[in-house]
Chain A
Amino acid sequence: MGRIVIRRLASALPIMAIVSVITFAMIHLIPGDPAVAIAGLSATAEQLETIRRDLGLDQPVLTQLWRWYANVLRGDLGRSLLLGQPVVQVMTQRLQVTLALSAYALVLTLLLGLTAGIVAALRQNTWIDQAAMVFAMIGISLPNFWLGLLMIILFAVDLRWLPTGGYIPLTADPLGWLATSTMPAVSLALLQAGLLARITRSTMLEVLRQDYIRTARAKGLPNRVVVMKHALANALIPIVTVLGIIVSLLISGSVVTETLFSIPGVGQLLTQAVLNRDYPMVQGGLLMTTALLVLVNIAVEVCYALLDPRVRTDGS
């Protein structure tokens, strides 16, 4: 088990090396002079010079790359031009918000998606199955910003049950966190839940046809055990693959949702950074987000090994 974790972590190193080069190169890929791009056409020569010096753009490219790596390895991703704070510090604060929201959305996705998928598979071709799949289709088809807007109109403006936006940290006030996070989490989760429901249904149908399910029934096991133990344990293997993608989508989907609900998360931070040409922020933010997604994928691989003994024994 530990061996699998170590091997996956090692295989993540080249990915991170490539991503770090790409994020480094970003500033050199800006059309024209990056300093002008950042400061605007009306900037004075002095201002441009300061920006170049701050970003190290006056150095040879290889020296810049070397510095970038040396800093990255020391955990220093530079300072945000806009906020004046270290990128790592800002990102860490904002990641807590985004991760809390994503986790909430993930829990909703799992509850809705797995339940709907399993029930639909067990009641294949009945009205329950069809209703579940219609809702899944609606969830997949509705753009989540539009859904978010509708929820704001209904629950915040008309019914006044929830605030229209803003964010209260979970650690400060759990109920306040629920109030501010529920609509964003639901609007994030519905799309993913629809996706998960469809995948769960088709995998469960596939698994329920297998010979070992017949064996489980022939042993006299109650239906509940046959479905929730024997079928689900096998269906989870393909489902976990999709879950990895879903987590990535939840984190990246937060860009729109956080803007809509004015939540100070990574999505909002990076959107602002891009609009304001805060290149150190964009570089560092991308690198950290990528690292996070690589970790999610490693977690998925580890889940495979936990779920499937055939993967586990291959590794030893």
Chain B
Amino acid sequence: MSLLEVRDLTTVFRTGRGEVTAVEDISFDLAEGEVLGIVGESGSGKSVTALTIMGLLPRPTARIRSGAIRFGGEDLTRLPESRMQRIRGPGIAMVFQEPMTSLNPVFSIGDQIMETIRAHEPLSPRAAFSRAVAMLEKVGIASAATRMADYPHQLSGGQRQRVMLAIALVCRPRVLIADEPTTALDVTIQAQILDLLLDLRDELGMAIILITHNMGVIAETADRVLVMYAGRIAEEAPVAGLFDAPLHPYTNGLLECVPSLTEDRARLVAIPGTLPEAHRRPPGCRYAPRCPLAAADCGHGLPPLRALVPGHRAACLRIAPS
């Protein structure tokens, strides 16, 4: 029984050129305690997927055209906003990419953590305070009780991301969506935050959806991976399977782009071409124009996502099931 089930989810944005599809026919499951990585280039639909699950799509520009998001026996796509507010926080929480701007500059961090608690639980101010302090300590903020009165501008980027984590985790969510939580941070801080995420996953027993474009982060933290390309899932696999035997040519391309210290390469490898814009997608396989394996039939119809190896799905006509 999955904790979260996403089925055939399609999210569209209204633009000057008509409706464009940001996320198309996405389906995946998230098990209790699992870390699911979602990788892809900027614009591949990773963040829109996350915002769709959270019910935080910009209105009225974006809407869910079809599909279901099942969580705790309910379909989140059909819930009224008031019910959704009670799920955000204790049910599903989210950490964002931009720690520098994601905290409100005019309220103290203590206030921002405590209001999260008190929005969901009838706690006294004193109880909320000690719970917030405990959470700050858990995310590694030293002398947490005195830092409660600090304002975001008094904190470094890494500390702010820790505070964001504290806000997200203080109501003990069952699912945490982390949208590029370390992209804006120094490499050393990145590693600390990722370690912290995994520790807290073990301690609090939550599942994590980790969105990133960094294959290294995926390799270190995820149990299972979704590779997204131009709004669709290109490949889904356990992390070992993906790195050892990638099926989709796009995943292959991504992995070849990761620079290696042991190999002697004259220059960095890149996938030729660019991600097609949402309103200029090719007919057929979205990746075909950049794909080294592309043949004539790749231009006709979208390739279905097939389980080519047990537990390992890919959407490519050129790969034969083994």
Contact = CB atoms under 8 A, between A and B. Distances in A.
Interface of A: 210-212, 214-223, 225, 230, 233-234, 237, 307-310, 313
Contact of B85 (A215, A222, A309): A222
Contacts of B119: 219-222, 225
Nearest to A209: B58
A234 B106 CA distance: 7
Nearest to B104: A212
Please name the 10 residue pairs, one residue from A and one from B, whose CB atoms are nearest each other, closest first.
A220-B88, A220-B89, A211-B101, A212-B104, A309-B151, A219-B116, A211-B102, A218-B94, A220-B85, A215-B102
B85 A218 contact: no
B210 interface: no
A221 B168 CA distance: 12
Given A211-B96, A221-B119, A310 B56 contact: no
B107 A215 contact: no
Contacts of B186: none
Given A211-B96, A215-B167, A220-B119, A309 B106 contact: yes
Interface string B213-242: 000000000000000000000000000000
A206 to B, nearest CB: 13
Nearest to A124: B60
A92 to B, nearest CB: 38
Contacts of A210: 101
B103 interface: yes
Q: How large is the interface on B (under 10, 10 to 19, 20 to 34, 35 or more residues)?
A: 20 to 34
Contacts of B82: 222
A216 B120 CA distance: 13
16 contacts: A211-B98, A214-B56, A216-B104, A217-B88, A218-B89, A218-B168, A219-B119, A220-B119, A221-B119, A230-B104, A233-B107, A234-B106, A237-B106, A307-B106, A310-B151, A313-B154
B153 A310 contact: yes
B164 interface: yes
Given A212-B105, A220-B116, A223-B81, 12 more contacts: A212-B102, A212-B104, A219-B88, A219-B93, A219-B119, A220-B119, A220-B120, A225-B119, A308-B105, A309-B108, A309-B151, A310-B151
A222 B107 CA distance: 17
Nearest to B149: A309
A214 B96 CA distance: 9
Nearest to A214: B56
